[in-house]
C-alpha cells in the first residue's frame, strides 16, 4: 500500500469513527457537564498512554519541547470542546456540525489577519460563501430557541481556527503531549457543574464508547493524516463528518435537520469542497506550469 493510500485509509477511518460522536452525546441526554467531565478524563488517559508508549523515559523532555505555544493550544482546545458540547445540547446536531465545518475558513482568515498570509482568491470567495451559509443557518434558529447553541458552535469554530493557526506556527514540534493537559483542563472546567455518577444503565456503555474510543481514537487517527496527505485532501475527508453526523442522529433519533440548515449547509459544504478541490489541483499541478495550461507561472504552483 502506498503512503498516499495509507493516508486516506487512516484519515477516513478516523472520520468514520468520529461520525457517531453527536449521536452518542444525544443518547447520554441533556447532561453536557457530566459528559465533559468523562470526555476530558478519557481523552487525557488515552493520549497519555499513546505518548508514554512513544517516548518512554523521554516523556518529560517531550512535554517541555512543546514550548509556549502548547500552553496556549491546550486551553484553546479545551475551550472548543466545552463550546462543542454546549452547542450539541442546545441546538440541532446539523446546526452544530454545519457551523463548525467553517473552522478551516476562519483559520485562513485569521492567518491573513494575524500573520499576514495572503489569501488565494478561491479561499477568499469560500470565506464569503461560508459566512453567508452560517447566516442562513442561524437565521432559521430565530424564534426557535436554538440561537445559544448556534453561537456556541460558532465559538467552537473560532477556537478551532485559532488552534489551527497556532499549530501551523509551531509545525515541526510534536504537540501531542499538549492534549493530555487539554483533557485534564476539560475535566477541571466541568467538575464544579458535573454529577459524574449520574448516568444509569446503558448510558455507561454509550459513555465508554464516546470517551475511550470515538473521541480519542478518532482524534489520534485524524492527526496522522497530514503526514501522508495534503491539507486539501484532509479537509475534503473531514466533510464526511458534517454529512454523516446529522444522518446518524436522524436515522436513530428522528432529529430531522431544519430546512434553513440544509440550505446553509449546502452553501458551506459547496464552498469548502470547491476551495479544497481547487487547492488540491494547485498542489498537484506541475511546478512552474500554469493551471490554465501552457505558459509559465513565475510564482510557482
Question: What's the average model confidence in pLDDT over 17-30?
Answer: 92
Cell 461560508, located at residue: 130
Least reliable range by pLDDT among 8-22, 141-155, 171-185, 226-240: 226-240
What does the pLDDT look like over 218-250, one tens digit per residue?
A: 988 888 876 777 666 777 778 888 888 999 999
Distances (CA, A) of 48 to 45, 117, 134, 288: 5, 34, 36, 44
Spatial separation of the C-alpha atoms in residues 102 and 108, rounded to whole Å: 10
Q: Find the radius of gyration of the CA atoms of the chain.
A: 20
Question: What's the average model confidence in pLDDT over 77-89?
Answer: 93
Output the pLDDT for position 199: 93
Closest by CA to 230, choosing from 66, 57, 1, 11, is 11
Q: According to DSSP H, which parts of 101-142 are helical?
A: 103-115, 121-139
Tell if the pTM clears 0.85, that is, is over it. no
Spatial separation of the C-alpha atoms in residues 288 and 185, rounded to whole Å: 47
Q: What is the dihedral of CA 111, 112, 115, 120, to 10 degrees?
A: 90
The residue ranges of every structural domain in the chain are 3-284
Spatial separation of the C-alpha atoms in residues 152 and 127, rounded to whole Å: 19
Per DSSP, the three-state class of 21 is helix
Distances (CA, A) of 112 to 107, 129, 133, 151, 169: 9, 17, 21, 23, 13
With beta carbons less than 8 A apart as the criterion, state whether 162 and 76 touch: yes
What does the pLDDT look like over 175-225, one tens digit per residue?
A: 889 999 999 999 999 999 999 999 998 999 999 999 999 999 998 888 887
Q: How confident is the model at residue 285 (pLDDT cuts 50, 70, 90)?
A: low
Question: What's the average model confidence in pLDDT over 296-300?
Answer: 36
**Looking at the DSSP assignment, which residues form a beta bridge with residue 296?**
289
Amino acid at each position: 500500500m502506498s503512503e498516499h493510500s495509507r493516508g486516506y485509509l487512516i484519515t477516513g477511518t478516523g472520520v468514520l469513527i468520529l461520525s457517531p460522536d453527536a449521536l452518542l452525546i444525544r443518547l447520554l441526554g441533556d447532561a453536557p457537564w457530566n459528559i465533559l467531565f468523562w470526555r476530558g478524563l478519557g481523552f487525557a488517559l488515552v493520549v497519555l498512554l499513546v505518548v508514554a508508549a512513544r517516548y518512554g523515559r523521554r516523556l518529560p523532555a517531550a512535554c517541555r519541547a512543546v514550548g509556549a505555544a502548547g500552553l496556549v493550544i491546550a486551553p484553546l482546545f479545551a475551550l472548543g470542546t466545552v463550546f462543542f458540547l454546549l452547542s450539541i445540547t442546545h441546538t440541532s446536531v446539523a446546526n452544530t456540525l454545519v457551523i463548525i465545518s467553517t473552522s478551516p475558513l476562519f483559520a485562513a482568515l485569521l492567518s491573513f489577519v494575524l500573520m499576514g498570509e495572503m489569501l488565494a482568491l478561491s479561499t477568499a470567495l469560500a470565506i464569503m460563501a461560508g459566512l453567508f451559509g452560517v447566516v442562513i443557518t442561524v437565521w432559521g434558529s430565530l424564534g426557535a430557541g436554538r440561537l445559544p447553541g448556534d453561537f456556541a458552535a460558532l465559538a467552537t469554530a473560532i477556537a478551532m481556527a485559532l488552534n489551527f493557526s497556532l499549530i501551523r506556527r509551531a509545525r515541526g514540534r510534536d504537540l501531542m503531549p499538549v492534549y493530555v493537559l487539554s483533557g485534564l483542563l476539560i475535566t477541571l472546567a466541568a467538575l464544579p457543574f458535573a454529577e459524574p455518577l449520574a448516568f444509569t444503565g446503558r448510558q455507561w456503555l454509550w459513555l465508554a464508547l464516546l470517551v475511550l474510543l470515538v473521541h480519542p481514537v478518532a482524534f489520534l487517527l485524524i492527526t496522522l493524516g497530514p503526514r501522508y496527505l495534503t491539507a486539501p485532501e484532509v479537509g475534503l475527508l473531514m466533510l464526511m463528518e458534517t454529512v454523516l453526523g446529522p444522518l446518524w442522529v436522524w436515522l436513530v433519533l428522528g432529529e430531522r435537520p431544519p430546512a434553513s440548515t440544509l440550505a446553509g449547509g449546502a452553501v458551506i459544504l459547496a464552498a469548502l469542497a470547491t476551495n479544497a478541490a481547487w487547492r488540491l489541483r494547485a498542489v498537484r499541478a506541475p511546478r512552474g506550469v500554469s493551471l490554465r495550461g501552457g505558459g509559465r507561472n513565475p510564482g510557482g504552483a
